[in-house]
Amino acid sequence: MVCVRYRPRQPRASPVWQILHDHAAKLPGLSADAAAAIDAFLECGDLHAGFTRFHCPDCGHEFLLAFTCKQRGLCASCHQRRTLIEGAVIADEICARVPHRHLVLTIPRLIRNTFKFERALLDELYHAAHTAIATWLRQHTGQPAGQPGLVVAVQTFGDFLFWHPHVHVLAAAGVFAPNGDFHLAPPGGWQELAELWRHTVLRRLRDAGALAGWQIAKLQNWRHSGFSVDAGEAPLAADDAAGRRRLAEYLLRAPFSLEKITYNADAGSVLYRSERHWRTKRNFEVFSASQFIAALLDQIPPKGVPQVRHYGWYSNKSRGLRQRTAGAAAGKTHAPPARPRRRRAVWQELIQQVWGADPLRCPLCSGLLRPIAVVETRAEIAAVLAPLGLARPHEQPFAHGPPRPEVAVLIDAASGDCHAIDPPDCPPGLPYPQPRHEQIRFRAEVMDPGESFDHAGFELPAAPQVAPADAGQGELFGDDYSQPDSADREPVFWGASGGQAFPTDDGVQPDAPDCAE
């Protein structure tokens, strides 16, 4: 039997931690909320910010568990913990045992920045999604009094952290009658739903004063409106609890992936990889550190604003009324029954669920570690850490840890072939970005077509060069997928071009950049 040992995460090894540590203090005009969020994140998982002492009563071994920042968006670890907890509640307690669909509703690029500069308007997307889907389901099922069951989340990020507000919905594939019967909607009709979505969003933005009449008329006259609905291939089965949980976690996911980020501290640049973008024909973007931080801070939801909302049969009001009715049917008419207290998910259980290791199992004797003290004050922290050789002056900056060797990987832009240059302790011919080694980080360079492989003196540029219009040359690894530009000829946003160039066919530079999807 293989025993898996728990190893605490190393927060300073995160590229996001290193980027914020190196460059956040240099950014002008940070809001108080953004500065507080960054400060809390830099102390997340740091023993010098406080910890809980765990002790093994059998052998005397001790383990220190550092405090966390418990933030959404900025801290991938804390965000994932919230995702696992809330995703399980949505899938197991809120969703009924009926078929469900995952709907994705998008808006045109022309109006996306409207929500960036006025974040309160994101509420209109929640309400518009509920109104459009409820109206469509009632008409589609022939149940005018039916209630939909909707879990709605607005995500503001695209593949490359650009501003791209869109709506994800975990929706029951039908409506609930007042007596609780479920009526399944027939398949099809997605174009009708897309039109309802378009008109509902435009009407709500008009009523909110966010769009003028001429802007709405222009959007209504477009042949390709930019409003779309993606309903997937088939609904989830009624007994697919794992599928509902997977979709609920997708609605709550973090705006970025640590696996996609490569930080070049010397050049002060950030390489962010994702799927090949159909418009730019690239599967990566290169940001300066300040651009990356700004894009990251744009994705942090305001404090206290829920990311996920429940509508119709799944709303708090509907669930409360059903619980009261059930209590009355049981003879408890004097008062609504007490809602059972939700059991809080324990950190130990979440670690076991994700990593398959028990973090409170003693590595020496396999006994159970027990908490004995919570250490919060600076004096107590120093008293515990100093004998262990872990103490450092609190005012000193955080350290990066020992340097890691790099492997330079050249990619032939013409053929897509990858070449690793002198990889330490690694076999030759490693493809990028597949290799994952704890002690090695990889630096990617793109060779021009016809470039000799002997010329290996490349350095990661601080900003990308604007690629020619006919090139699929900004590609880190082979991908046969391509999609032509749309007929509306919208401008291409080169997010890290340095010169803020937004090329269009007529040479006109728009006032505000559109965001890549």
Helices and strands (H, E) in the chain, number of each type: 12, 16
Which band of pLDDT confidence, cut at 50, 70 and 90, is reported for residue 345?
A: low
Identify the pLDDT of residue 405. Answer: 43
User: Strand, helix or coil at 462?
Assistant: coil
Give the containing element (helix H, strand E) for 319: helix 316-329
Q: Check residues 401 and 96 and name the one with the higher pLDDT.
A: 96
pLDDT classification of 297: cutoffs 50, 70, 90: very high
Helix ranges, 1-145 (H): 15-23, 32-42, 76-89, 112-117, 122-141
Residue partners of 254: CB distance under 8 A and separation at least 6: 73, 76, 79, 80, 83
Give the whole-angstrom CA distance, residue 317 versus residue 324.
Answer: 11
DSSP string for 179-215: TS-EEEPPS--HHHHHHHHHHHHHHHHHHTTSS-HHH
What local confidence, expressed as pLDDT, does residue 517 receive? 39
Q: What is the pLDDT of residue 18?
A: 93
pLDDT band at 362 (very low <50, low <70, confident <90, very high): confident
Of 463 and 193, the one with more pLDDT: 193
CA distance 223 to 55: 67
The mean predicted confidence, pLDDT, of the chain is 76
Lowest mean pLDDT among 93-107, 218-232, 331-345, 352-366: 331-345
Model pLDDT, residue 392: 67
Provide the pLDDT confidence category of residue 301 given band limits of 50, 70 and 90. confident
Categorize the per-residue pLDDT at 335 as very low, low, confident or very high, splitting at 50, 70 and 90.
very low
Single out the residue of 398, 306, 304, 287 nearest to residue 48, CA to CA.
398
Please compute the mean of the pLDDT values over residues 304-324 and round it to a whole number.
92
165 token code pair: 């507000």
The amino acid at residue 316 is N
Q: What is the pLDDT of residues 144-190, one digit of tens each?
A: 999 999 999 999 998 888 899 999 999 999 999 999 999 999 988 99
Per-residue model confidence (pLDDT) at position 351: 85
Integer-rounded Cα Rg, in Å, for the chain is 26
Mean pLDDT across the stretch 479-508? 31
> Which of 34-38, 78-82, 508-512 comes out lowest in average pLDDT?
508-512
Average confidence (pLDDT) over 360-384: 89
Q: Quick one: average pLDDT of 51-56?
A: 92
Model confidence at 290: pLDDT above 50: yes
The pLDDT > 70 percentage for the chain reads 71
Model pLDDT, residue 329: 61
5 versus 313: the higher-pLDDT residue is 313
Q: What is the pLDDT of residue 227?
A: 93
Strand 174-176 relative to strand 163-172: parallel, antiparallel, unpaired? unpaired
- What the block records as the tokens of 205 is 């933005």
How much is the pLDDT for 328? 64
Tell me the per-residue pLDDT of 4-43, one tens digit each, with 9 for 90 and over. Answer: 677 788 888 899 999 999 999 888 888 899 999 999 999 9
| Residue linked to tokens 């009563």 | 57
State yes or no: pLDDT of 465 exceeds 70: no
Helix (H, G, I), strand (E, B) or coil at 333: coil
387 versus 249: the higher-pLDDT residue is 249
Given a cut of 60, whether residue 422 has pLDDT beyond it is: no
Q: Is 324 exposed, middle or buried (0-12, 13-18, 19+ CB in 10 A)?
A: middle
What mean pLDDT is predicted for residues 271-285? 83
What are the residue boundaries of the structural domains of the chain, listed by start? 11-69+347-388, 76-256+299-325
Unique residue bearing structure tokens 């709500």: 204
pLDDT tier at 294 (50, 70, 90 boundaries)?
A: very high
The total of other beta-carbon atoms located within 10 Å of residue 32's CB is 7
Q: Each residue of 215-265: pLDDT tens digit?
A: 898 888 887 888 999 998 889 999 999 999 999 999 999 999 998 999 999
Say if CB 446 and CB 473 are below 8 A apart.
yes
Mean pLDDT for the stretch of residues 254-280: 88
State the distance between the two ends of the chain, measured CA to CA, in whole angstroms: 47
